[in-house]
Structure 1
């Protein structure tokens, strides 16, 4: 008996078309509901960077939570996918970035890597947007020199050179305010040996040449610092009115602060470059932290918007107490918010469209004003590159007062006036 094909009438054909359309509609809805995935290379262990990376992840998670609670981006949720990374080696850095490419993430959001080139090369052909807080001129130079190859790479903060360029200007402003009278105008730089701190030191030395202050000496240190004793002896012997400890690891700066406070150089203003922004500094230094000054070219403001973020962050992560990091918490939060805003009008699957949108985007975050519409694809420094604070990232100078971090400069953002440290003459 021959097989017979069932007869198809108009009714059965109509039902078939309806069923097919329903399946297509369901498939489209499913595709639309797929999450937008952001890859985060976050150091889980290692001798340095873990605290900043944890801060960044917390900020990113808070932003994603707020976005998803409001319905996501055009109905799609933000999903954060964390990849462990060894930021101390080029091999470890590149391996993690290749994993994110293999995972086909829609964007990469990174607090920083210590060696930027391997990370950038690993994603050179994968054109998903890569937003990072490397704070390095080297990253910006690569983008500017290779605009086609690295068109999808954006730095979320000004480079480290402004730590050096902005420091003498801060000293002059502080002196002019009358809140501080230096014992002399000499600056003693304690310099760590990685490229990041070397660049800062060179920029400081260059800026001092055209300021009221002068370089007294440069003392080199090597990470990890096992003993601050010889450095402290050198500081007291040199006797400079300003001591700039150009090092970024919070735990080691806390050890320095405790030893210095126990046997200080009377009258000296002591500036600890960046590291005190990490929670470990106050936790480890305790009362010895009082009076030290530190700075960052990228940090959470304490204005109305910044304070709202700080309050939300503390409620989410520090409800039972603790110290909040003041730099990469806001960086992670702002980066996810920036991507989400851009994805409202740019298809996350179309990287060229997304990157073009980021280059045109202007965004005021908790860490300042973001614009990538320049050859380096990075925000501008306030006040050295832009004179309007709402057009750039403010260089924040902070002092530990009564166990708390207080912004003392710039004036438009300051929470408190500089107070003489315990080792300064009354």
Structure 2
């Protein structure tokens, strides 16, 4: 059955559902998924028609477009509910018009629809008048140009064999085969990592590489995994480029790595698709609700894909929750009842703004969202718009250091009384190095942060001794934990090349690392996140930090707090 909602979703050749740009997977009828999956077998680039829902008779206008983007072949399937057909055609007239397209006579139409020839002629005359078509051929041409063709096709399928939609319907019965991956025997265990070594995000990429390297060195020094050493193969990836993602993943897969890893990627679905097709277990850190839905929507295909941090959908609600708690406790006097979220679009990211709006209204806030547009001074202009009316706090919706630094700089330059609240980016040491004293007082949140306990301090000390610098508070520890977790899964598998066995162990056992507890026993195989009142032995809280006198202090995170919020000095004196 169809929910009646509009939808736009990617469909793979095997019928699996990918990213949904509109609606949800539940809104997509399986009959249309089967047709979309057959586009390649029918050798079609585009097909449009009107689908008539069984039993209810409701109509849905369908557009299918075959695409190949960066090695990811798929079909974009879109459906729109149709309340009224063009020219006020009736559903029966749509069927008759479909039959005119293939040149059927009134007698043939009557026979196939089980109506009289006179009734068939009446339908033909009426639809020609409505379409202002002087001939049957003109009506048929209009139908082909506008997609006014009815599916299921009325009458025998053989009538429509020369039409694209007829070939599509016929192709739905063709079988789909998948080539299994045959792993090559090897003594070493190889971890493939697609990380930003240059370009945007490279400051963070170095943290990820160092965390991975430290974990491998420690594991190998202890004897490796059942006597087998671990080696890393790292490929540079431009995080904003789908082509770069395809190149990096393709290279790692061809190298025959035993596990794939990555940080955050704009074209994250390409990494998912390539990993799934290879059968290699894949652990990424995209903090993406869209990727969660992708995995939970097709567990058979993506059963070896894991997200090692909780979803981004909790960021904006946590922003509202934290500011509300500060206000209500008296730790901070809000200069207005307005909160602003300044967001730079990043493919597949959803900060949970819809839920945050509801939460804000319930707590007496007004929440505004300001998009960042342009490249040169986009953040400066967006921040100026956000604080044109007084704002109590501004959430800076970007994972990148340069974006967050530009936003904080703009707030200070404008003399705004709004409290800056970052997302993840201040975890990277380059943020404080870039801003210097301007970073002091900035509040920021992360779905995965390194704890300030004995385990976290021990990791930070070993990292500093090895690399000569203090690690950031997120991805260095995350990369270290991810490698340790994979090694634990390898050690528990009878066959180290058994990707499904590795995935099963990852799902089955929570793991306590320097960034908290990783629990992948969720429908989307995403590390479980909790609020401040949940059980930290089973999941990770979203930590809130504040930069105080150049130090990172955890001011929100249940039992992992290391200090209290301070009103920034430049605001306290106002």
Name the TM-score class by shorter chain. Answer: 0.7 to 0.9
Q: What residue is the counterpart of 2:331 in the other structure?
A: 179
1:151-174 superposed Cα distances (whole Å, 9 cap, x missing partner): 110110111001122221112222
1:130-160 superposed Cα distances (whole Å, 9 cap, x missing partner): 0110100111111111111111101101110
Q: In the alignment, does 2:248 pair up with 1:96?
A: yes
Give 1:22-421 correspondences, 5 Å limit: 34-46=187-199, 48-196=200-348, 199-215=351-367, 217-222=368-373, 224-226=375-377, 228-266=379-417, 268-318=418-468, 322=469, 324-346=471-493, 347-383=495-531, 387-421=534-568
Question: Please, which moves more after superposition, 136-145 or 346-355?
Answer: 346-355
Q: Which has the higher contact order (CA 8 A, sep 6+)?
A: 1
Superposed CA RMSD in Å reads 2.1
1:315-340 superposed Cα distances (whole Å, 9 cap, x missing partner): 2223xxx5532111011000100011
Q: Distance in 1 between matches of 2:506 and 2:374?
A: 37
Could you say if the C-alpha distance between residues 78 and 45 of structure 1 is closer, same or farther in structure 2, counting changes exceeding 3 Å? same
Aligned 8 A contact 1:162 1:381 in 2 = no
1:82-120 superposed Cα distances (whole Å, 9 cap, x missing partner): 112232122221222122111111101212222211111
Aligned 8 A contact 1:56 1:332 in 2 = yes
Q: Number of matched residues?
A: 389
Could you say if the C-alpha distance between residues 350 and 58 of structure 1 is closer, same or farther in structure 2, counting changes exceeding 3 Å? same
3-state SS of paired residue (2:223): coil
Structure 2: which 5+ residue stretches go unaligned? 1-183
Q: Distance in 2 between matches of 1:196 and 1:378?
A: 15
Q: Distance in 1 between matches of 2:431 and 2:421?
A: 14
Could you say if the C-alpha distance between residues 125 and 245 of structure 1 is closer, same or farther in structure 2, counting changes exceeding 3 Å? closer
> Could you state the TM-score of these two structures normalised by the residue count of structure 2?
0.64
Structure 1: which 5+ residue stretches go unaligned? 1-30
> Could you state the TM-score of these two structures normalised by the residue count of structure 1?
0.86
Aligned 8 A contact 1:264 1:423 in 2 = no
Max Rg structure = 2
